[in-house]
Amino acid sequence: MDDQSSAPSSCTVYQLAPEQVAGPYLRNPKLLRRNISEGAEGLPLLLRLTIVDAMTGEPVNGALVDIWHCNARGAYSGWSRVGPDVEVDAQAVGSVPRTDDTYLRGSQFSDPRGQVRFTTLYPDLYAGRTLHIHVAVRIVSGHAYLDERHVAWVGQLCFPEVVSRAVLNAKACRGRASSPLGNDQDACYSGRGDEASTLTVWPVGRDGHEDGFFGHLTIGIDTFAASTQIKPEDFDKYTVQEVSAAR
């Protein structure tokens, strides 16, 4: 995961990564942390994202990268009461009383190579979607980073289907009433750059997936852009009480 060869080169040309909607489970819990699992059960996922300026090919240092995704039962923190096996209208999610849990959410600053690393879990399915992770990239300045509203890019990352099938067959993920959609069946990916939004994933162990997975993707952004997928007022609407956490 720390191989110097994985750092982007200024000689490489990067395309803008496709944006996707932020989804109904957006929150801004202000949690700066690398390990976001909070002890939840599931297969470990060591996630590395590399943020580059698609205009220059240079790594983006100091960007604040937020990720959030569901757990191994298809539930999101804050909406643990939403049943993952029944497809829910996105507008209806806002009427569901929120819970105070914060599992599988967190932020990290990109390093000089443009990289952030998270220790998390391989997400499960919920009705109507393929397996995915939400990502938002904020360009920050000064000490007010937790209130910074310049969101340059918002996306959703999917997984290679052959790997996801192995995960869903694992003991921790069995017994679900829903079947996962294929990536090409998912409205957020079909015809919208799904290949460019697919993580490269490989197992930690040599003999199976029980030890979890590594995942990586390089994300090209326009550092001067303002994403239309998260509006500034969304940070007020979806922010929960700040929780102190080590970077």
Give the distance, in angstroms, between the CA of residue 64 and the centroid of all CA atoms in the same chain.
13
Tell me the backbone φ, ψ of residue 164, rounded to 5 degrees.
-60, -35
- Closest alpha carbon to 49 in 82, 10, 81, 1: 1
Mention every residue, 6+ apart, whose C-beta is less than 8 A from residue 241: none
| C-alpha span between 74 and 70 (Å, rounded) | 5
200 three-state secondary structure: strand
pTM for the full model?
0.87
Q: Domains of the chain: which residue ranges?
A: 12-237
Tell me the backbone φ, ψ of residue 50, rounded to 5 degrees.
-115, 120
The pLDDT tens digits of the residues spanning 129-169 come to 889 999 999 988 755 555 566 899 999 999 998 998 888 87
What is the CATH superfamily name and number for domain 12-237?
Aromatic compound dioxygenase (2.60.130.10)
Q: For residue 164, give Cα distances in angstroms to 3, 30, 39, 124, 213.
A: 25, 30, 21, 9, 11
DSSP secondary structure code for residue 244 in this structure: -
Query: For residue 143, what pLDDT is reported?
Result: 53
Query: For residue 8, what pLDDT is reported?
Result: 62
The pLDDT tens digits of the residues spanning 63-83 come to 999 999 999 888 999 988 888
Residue with tokens 């697919």: 198
Q: For residue 5, give Cα distances in angstroms to 9, 44, 201.
A: 9, 24, 17
Does residue 175 have a pLDDT over 50? yes
Classify residue 108 by burial, with Cβ atoms within 10 Å: 0-12, 13-18, 19+: buried
Mention every residue, 6+ apart, whose C-beta is less than 8 A from residue 142: none
| Token duo for residue 190 | 């079909």
Query: For residue 86, what pLDDT is reported?
Result: 78
| C-alpha span between 152 and 175 (Å, rounded) | 39
The pLDDT tens digits of the residues spanning 97-110 come to 888 899 999 999 99
- Closest alpha carbon to 155 in 126, 194, 200, 124: 194
Query: For residue 221, what pLDDT is reported?
Result: 96
